[in-house]
Amino acid sequence: MKAGIVGLPNVGKSTLFNCLSNAKAQSANFPFCTIEPNIGVVNVPDSRLTKLEELVKPERVQTATVDIVDIAGLVRGASKGEGLGNQFLANIRETDAIIHVIRCFDNDNIIHVDTTI
């Protein structure tokens, strides 16, 4: 499974990506810090696997994983090619699920793409 993290620029997409994937993708206070998608793999823990392993005794146990993709910020007019428009749409098309990050705080130190919430 591949899940894409989307939202406006500077809402915390790369920060969430780094938290989920334990990566060190750049996150900075300017729009389009991320241009090429960052991709990380997250293991999905399942305590039932241990019990099943004891019962079945397989040669190996493969845990589930989710690919997390940090996609560049979406801006108004992306469908018309503004911002990273077509590239954004191509990146999101390749995902199975969407994680939409929204900004719900005011902070003058962090740029907002539309100046205000």
Predicted pLDDT of residue 91? 84
Calculate the CA 37 to chain-centre distance.
9
In the chain, what are the domains?
2-100 (3.40.50.300)
Top pLDDT among 101 and 9 is at 101
Share of the chain above pLDDT 90, in %: 41
Q: Give the whole-angstrom CA distance, residue 23 versus residue 18.
A: 5
Q: How confident is the model at residue 34 (pLDDT cuts 50, 70, 90)?
A: low
Between 68 and 32, the more confident residue is 68
**Residue 30: pLDDT over 60:** no
Position 83 pLDDT exceeds 70: no
pTM above 0.95, yes or no: no
